[in-house]
Structures are given as C-alpha cells and as structure tokens.
C-alpha cells in the first residue's frame, strides 16, 4: 500500500511537471520577438518589397493619431468644429472608443462654446503617446489661438504642450507660449526619457496678407521654427520635469518638423529658407550636427520620415507621383500618399487613394503611426470629393511582412 501511494505521488509529480512544461512552452510560443531599440535605418535584415495586402476602416471620424504599442491603443484627435477638437482612444478593431479630454478638469467645460479662462483649450490635437501608455503629450490652443490653418495641426502657432492621462483624469501644462510662438509635432523618444517638438519664436518680419488665411502677427508661418529637445521624467504623482534643453538647428532659417527620436538620432522634415513647402527628409544628432539628407525628390512635398519598428523601411508622406510641384501653387492642389524607402533607397508607393489627379477628388494622408509588430500602419486619410462632405477616416494597412 505504501508502494502504491508512492507511485501515485510520483505520477502526480510527473503530471505537474508535464503541465508546467506545457505552460512554459505555451508561454514561450506566445512571446513574439519585439523590434529592437533604438530603431535604425537601413537595417541589415532581409525583407521583401513592401506591399499593402489589405486595409480596414477603424473610424470615419478620425484625425491626427498615434499608436501606443504597450497597450495596443490608438489615440486620435477629432475636430468637431474649426475651433473645437477632442482626443479619443480606440482599439485597432474599432472597439472601445472613448473621449479622453471631454471631461478633463484642467480643460474646463470644453463642450460649451464659452470657456471661462481660455477659449483655445477647446482645441486639443496631435496626441503622442509616452511608451508606458500611461499618458500622452498633446497640442492645446493657447489664449491667442484662432482656428486658422496656421494654428490647427499639422501647423501649431499659438499651440501649447500639455500632458494628458490616458484616461483623461488629469492634465498638466508642459510648455506655455506667448503671442506669435507655437509648438508642433511633439514626440517622445523610444525609451520615453526625452521629448522633442518643433518650436517657434516670432521673427518680426512682416509679409503681405490676403483676406483668405491671414497669418499670425502678419509673419510668414514657414519661418521662426527650430527643434527643441529636452530630457523628460514624470515622477509618480507628477508633475512632469523637463531638463537639459537643446535648441537644435536654431541658427537655420526655414521650417522644421520632427517625426521621431530614436536613441540620439533626430528624424525631421525641413524646407530651405522661406519656401512654402516641406521637401527634405533628414536626420541628425540631437544638437543638429551630422545633418544627413535621406530623401529629396526636388519640388514635391515630402514629410514625416520615420524608420519602421525593425528599421528596414523609412516611411514618409509624399505628393508624388502627382502634379503638385510648384511651391507657389495653392495648397488646395496638394495630394499626399504614403511611401517608403527600402534598404536600397528605392522609393515605393504604399497607398493609392487617388488613381489619378482630377479636380473633383483628392486625398491627403495627413498622419500615420506604426503598429507594435511592424506589419500594420494606422493612417489618417482626409478625402475631398466635389459636392460631398470631406471624409476623415482612420484605416489600418496590413503589409506583407514585419518591417
């Protein structure tokens, strides 16, 4: 009987060991490899030519966006009025949509038309997640905000930087601005220890004005910009602390917009002097040294160059292959698609929203963000069709491999 009990005990231990082994194998199988940090381009990994295999619509009420990998949650702005915009979150499958900033105490009753202290705070846009997914940085209208095209993203004159909790329970002002100043396109570094944004100071140089889209302070909105980089930390309970500021490319004239900060490398868009277009994809060290041009198709719009999670592609938005090539042309003729550079620096068109340019329809890929594994990209597409209400869609593009 003692021998039988011992055998049963051995069998039980054996079953437990096997169960544990199965659980371990199952857990290991579920752990997919993560992209390396920091991202670099071009990577030595061998990948096929990128192709969009399929797409699906997440929401038809979208805006400027970011995709947090740790929580697999997309944050986006939705403009309900030219002077009112809120931040929402949503799952990639379109579920669990909720407004983050509608009831945030620090913004007041933003649903009302009259704000007691700051009417600009009705406008929140351009969310960028911290890697922890606990909070995000957003652009918020200042007290001088007016809903012109130069003050609403993708521009940012009279915009401030704020930190907002992922659930909207709190918000804190991070970078205030004075009249004529602004911020644009904030991004956390891959590790969340740095923050970069485009900053603007007034130039004092007046330019001619038109009745349509007058510019703040009657200055050129394409000048006065530079890149600001700081160390970032937010202790438990806050507030956030910015330190060791670096003003990158401050001595250069023209327009700058950051698109990523990986390790000690800045990825940004640039235009020369006072040209009214963004046309060069570049990267540099934090202080602006070792400036390198990655892509310049000459007289077409190129913007938002960003390395993919595995570093095998450099994705960007471009007005190729369409006819908008004249910097003096009206902005209304601009078409933007999503493109990519591969290891061989070959430019590959990923989206084809406009089969051909015509006067009745045009599309703008206004923003995009890579998904966690490097196989999906969320894009914000604004489409205009003559006689119809503009479409503001967020779509998920699925590629043929992890890039």
**Residues 94-141: tens digit of each pLDDT:** 999 999 999 999 997 544 443 344 556 899 999 999 999 999 999 999
Distance in Å from the first CA to the final CA of the chain: 62
Cα separation, 239 vs 243, in Å, equals 13
Angle CA 174–179–183, to nearest 5 = 40
* Sequential DSSP letters for 51-103: -EEEEEEEESB--SEEEETTTTEEEEEEEEETTEEEEEEE-TTS-S-EESSTT
Cα separation, 1 vs 393, in Å, equals 73
Torsion, Cα 33 43 257 336, to 10 degrees, reads: -90
Contact predicate 271/249, CB 8 Å: no
Contact predicate 283/266, CB 8 Å: yes
Domains, in order of start, for the chain: 50-399 (2.120.10.30)
Cα separation, 379 vs 5, in Å, equals 64
Phi/psi at 329 (5° precision): -70, 150
Cα separation, 173 vs 154, in Å, equals 20
Query: pLDDT tens digits, the chain, 403 residues: what are they?
Result: 433 333 333 443 343 343 343 333 333 333 445 777 778 999 999 999 999 999 999 999 999 999 999 999 999 999 988 889 999 999 999 999 999 999 999 997 544 443 344 556 899 999 999 999 999 999 999 999 999 999 999 999 999 999 999 999 999 999 999 999 999 999 999 999 999 999 999 999 999 988 888 999 999 999 999 999 999 999 988 899 999 999 988 877 789 999 999 999 999 999 877 778 888 999 999 988 999 999 987 778 999 999 999 999 999 999 988 755 544 544 557 889 999 999 999 999 999 998 665 556 789 999 999 999 999 999 999 998 878 888 999 999 999 999 9
Cα separation, 121 vs 99, in Å, equals 15
């Amino acid at each position: 009987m003692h021998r039988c009990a011992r055998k049963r005990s051995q069998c039980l231990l054996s079953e437990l060991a096997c169960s544990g082994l199965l659980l371990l194998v199952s857990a290991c199988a579920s752990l997919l490899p993560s992209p390396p940090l920091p991202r670099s381009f071009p990577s030595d990994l061998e990948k096929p030519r990128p192709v969009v295999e399929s797409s699906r619509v997440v929401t038809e009420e979208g805006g400027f966006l970011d995709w947090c990998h740790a929580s697999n949650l997309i944050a986006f702005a939705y403009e309900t009025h030219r002077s009112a915009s809120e931040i929402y979150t949503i799952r990639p499958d379109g579920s669990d949509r909720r407004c983050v900033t509608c009831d945030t105490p620090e913004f007041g009753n933003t649903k009302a038309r009259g704000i007691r202290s700051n009417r600009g705070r009705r406008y929140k846009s351009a969310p960028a997640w911290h890697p922890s997914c606990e909070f995000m940085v957003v652009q918020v209208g200042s007290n001088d905000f007016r809903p012109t095209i130069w003050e609403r993203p993708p521009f940012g004159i009279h915009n401030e930087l704020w930190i907002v909790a992922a659930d909207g329970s709190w918000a804190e002002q991070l970078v205030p601005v004075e009249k004529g100043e602004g911020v644009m396109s904030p991004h956390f570094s891959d590790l969340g220890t740095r923050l970069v944004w485009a900053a603007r100071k007034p130039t004092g140089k007046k330019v001619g004005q038109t009745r349509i889209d007058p510019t703040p302070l009657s200055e050129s909105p394409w000048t006065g910009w530079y890149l600001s980089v700081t160390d970032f930390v937010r202790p438990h309970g806050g507030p956030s602390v910015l330190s060791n500021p670096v003003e990158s490319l401050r001595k250069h004239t023209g327009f700058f917009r950051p698109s990523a900060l990986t390790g000690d490398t800045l990825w940004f868009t640039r235009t020369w002097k006072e040209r009214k277009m963004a046309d060069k994809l570049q990267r540099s060290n934090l202080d602006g040294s070792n400036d390198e041009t990655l892509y310049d198709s000459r007289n077409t719009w190129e913007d938002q160059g960003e390395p993919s999670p595995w570093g095998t592609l450099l994705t960007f938005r471009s007005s190729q292959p369409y006819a908008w090539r004249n910097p003096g042309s009206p902005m209304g003729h601009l078409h933007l698609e999503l493109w990519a550079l591969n290891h061989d620096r070959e430019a590959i068109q990923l989206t084809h929203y406009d089969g051909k340019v015509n006067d009745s329809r045009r599309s703008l890929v206004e923003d995009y963000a890579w998904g966690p594994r490097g196989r999906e990209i969320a894009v914000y597409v604004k489409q205009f069709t003559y006689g119809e209400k503009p479409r503001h869609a967020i779509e998920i593009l699925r590629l043929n491999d992890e890039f």
